[in-house]
Structure 1
């Protein structure tokens, strides 16, 4: 019996020891959590101090108003209590006990208060309120970035940039006339929502779920088959709010989007291209299918008016990014709006173009990096960006074979030609390669990091990163 009791006691001691060890491990973490509230820039300490000061002044004001009678009585009452405690317990015991009890109640009350606030503001989240506040504060202080483009390239870029700033404006082409967007454009007369849908989903807090929802395509139903939910959602919002700009703004509030998504114009823009063999091809979806070399690109109407909010965003930007995406059907269509290219040309902020990794059949066959730059300069008639981001590693043999079957190859970096065009080269490893399918795309995290670091360097901020090479 005695041995059993001893074993039980030893087990209890071990349990208590492990519990104390766990508590000791948690304590620094909890203390670190509380010290975060003292970090500069949270804007909490000053308001707590102001609140306490206001409370004290209110009490003193009431006391003075009634002739200080409550103050005298309160001081007498506390004096009697302190004398009673001092007679029962000596000061070297009662003092520390009162301090410990006060600190315990203070921390307990504040922990429960902030826990309740966190549960109300962000139910089901494991992120602490202070961490959420610090993240929001950091993002709100991020640079004002304008990203210009369309297609999946722009949404990929936005997915990475939103981790560095909440002050992002995506200016998106509205020239799409294929697929679900084209059907809605022809049947209902709305501007094509497809590229905008992708950008809204990319900037949303619940990106994964929202992307799956917006990309969901109906496979049955008279008139619904082939349409994506996101396109129908934005079309319905356009009908309710009156235009696509208001529809995007309303949707962004509902979906907790970091930043803004703006169409380049609200005009019904249709692309056309003149080919080297003299053919005239009209329609964004038909241009890549036509085959041949594009020698001229334009739109109808010839001079579509820009969205005023897009011009303001460019004028107030700290950093402007063009691409990645299809050169002639995603990037250049935005620059066919005269006010947009004029606004970009006037800015003095860093401007950079993200070049595609692979050539695109029907658009950029055999194009080098310099050819991409010349195409943009030819359309705009002026220099709109200072540097170009290029991927500096060759894809695997499996990927090269996969793309060669579609007559696509890596975009060759002709350094001398790019230098002659007056552009700096930012070379980095920014490729995401799918080993199974052989498809490549830009890695959104690496690309965003490279762009933010390059922007930092232009402002004199030094970064130690062997994955980033700036030439020129």
Structure 2
């Protein structure tokens, strides 16, 4: 017998950037009880400039999550495009996203980041809520092991890389991830959402700098361990240039397990095109308590991007415990 929530589950999606937008674009097709919990460590581009100049949370990943939750109507498409629009000029506005400015303006008016995001959501008619994972801006720091041919006089074998924008494109294998400050305060609304969820979805996205960072915010990590919600990991469609270059699907799961060894996972969603050894991936998922769901969730145009309808169908199978081959 299906649980009462199965037709409109309360889902919390964690991540940032394009990866979180992919999961939200799929999840909004199957539920309006959605909460996006978003990384606040971006230090590049428009977000980084606003963060430095105004001492605010970086708004870019939050903006992208809000845009992904817009309805596929004329209203939703127009406001989504407005949020994502960037100015092009020879002056100070160059490359600033309109949505970033709107969000920061509401933060200044209301004095409350969560209230400001809720007001933007109301304006857009967003199907869900967007929350920061922490209440202060964060800095990502990673210990990176260089390949032997990259090391030499003056360059250590293990190097510390500071800043999300640098970690995302770093060469070498990330061994350990940290946040500064080391024990940041979690958004209490994010913690409450995780505790009240039916499902929590981690990934896809930049594995270290957007997904695993959520496990380094103590109160949020504790909620992810304590919640009665079930947990689903969505694997990426390709290794990214930089932080995950050369990593297999199994490597992604092992990195997750290394940073949260006690976290139980219930399901892993993977596109067959990224799985080198099915039995090896099943074993890695099983070590975390998870079942493996193999589904084609990639777009049909050959790009490494998720198709919203296909991914929504995969999530529906996961939520309804349908794991057979299709």
Scaled by the length of structure 1, the TM-score of the pair is 0.62
Please state if 1:199 is matched with 2:199.
Answer: no
1:415 aligns with 2:279: yes
CA contact (8 A) 1:377 1:384 kept: no
1:296-331 CA deviation, whole Å, 9 max, x = no partner?
A: 111100011111111111111111111110101110
- CA offsets 1:20-51 (integer angstroms, 9 cap, x no match): xxxxxxxxxxxxxxxxxxxxxxxxxxxxxxxx
Of 307, 315, 321, which aligns to 1:451? Answer: 315
The reply to whether residue 428 of structure 1 matches residue 295 of structure 2 is: yes
Residue in structure 2 matched with residue 441 of structure 1 by the alignment: 305
The alignment partner of 1:170 has SS state of strand
For 1:183 and 1:333, the matched residues in 2 are separated by: 21
Q: For 1:181, what is the secondary structure of its paired residue?
A: helix
Shift, 1:251, TM fit: 1.1
Distance across 1 between alignment mates of 2:267 and 2:7: 25
1:340 to 220, 232, 237: 220
Shift of 1:415: 2.6
* Distance in 1 separating the partners of 2:162 and 2:55: 18
Q: For 2:76 and 2:6, locate their aligned partners in 1 and report how far apart those are by CA, in whole Å.
A: 19
CA drift of 1:208 comes to 2.1
Instruction: Within 5 Å, give how 1:363-442 maps onto structure 2.
Output: 363-392=243-272, 394=273, 410=274, 412-416=276-280, 418-420=282-284, 421-422=287-288, 423-435=290-302, 439-442=303-306
State the match for 1:270 in structure 2.
139
Q: Looking at secondary structure, tell me which structure has more helix per residue.
A: 1
Q: 1:247 to 1:318 in 2, by over 3 A?
A: same
Q: Aligned pair in 2 of structure 1 residues 413, 233: CA closer, same or farther (>3 Å)?
A: farther
Any residues of structure 2 matched to 1:198-217 within 5 Å, and which?
198-205=64-71, 206-217=75-86
Given that 1:369 and 1:414 are in contact with CA atoms closer than 8 Å, whether structure 2 keeps it comes out as no
Runs (5+) with no aligned partner, structure 1: 1-138, 395-409, 468-472
Of the two structures, which has the highest relative contact order with CA contacts closer than 8 Å and spacing of 6 or more? Answer: 2
Q: Deviations over 1:149-170 (max 9, x none)?
A: 1111111211121121111011
**C-alpha RMSD of the superposition:** 2.1
SS state at 2:55 partner = coil
CA distance in 2, matches of 1:386, 1:199: 24
Worse-matched range after superposition: 301-310 or 415-424: 415-424
1:174 matched to 2:43? The reply is: no
Alpha-carbon distance in 1 for matches of 2:87, 2:224: 40
Match of 1:310 among 190, 210, 216: 190
What do the CA deviations read for 1:350-380 (whole angstroms, capped 9, x no partner)? 2110000101122112212221111112112
Whole-Å separation in 2 of the counterparts to 1:140 and 1:193? 32
Q: Calculate the TM-score normalised by the size of structure 2.
A: 0.88
Deviation at 1:278, TM superposition (A): 1.5
Shift of 1:290: 2.9
The separation in 2 between residues aligned to 1:183 and 1:156, in whole angstroms, is 26
Inter-CA distance 411–279: structure 2 relative to 1 (3 Å threshold):
farther
Matched, 1:233 2:121: no
Q: 1:239 to 1:295 in 2, by over 3 A?
A: same
Q: Secondary structure at 2:131's aligned position in 1? A: strand
The equivalent position to 1:248 in structure 2, one of 105, 117, 120, is: 117
Instruction: State how far apart, in whole Å, the 1-side matches of 2:132 and 2:264 are.
Output: 20
SS in 2 for 1:432: coil
Matching residue within 1, 24, 39 for 1:158: 24
Where 1:225 maps in the other structure, the secondary structure is coil
Deviations 1:134-158 (A, max 9, x none): xxxxx99611111111111111211
Three-state SS of the structure 2 residue aligned to 1:146 is: strand
Q: Does the CA-based 8 Å contact 2:250-2:280 persist in structure 1?
A: no
Give me the whole-angstrom Cα distance separating, in 1, the residues matched to 2:114 and 2:277. Answer: 38
Structure 2 unaligned spans of 5+: 146-156
What is the CA distance between 1:452 and its match in structure 2?
A: 1.7
Instruction: Give the paired residue count.
Output: 306
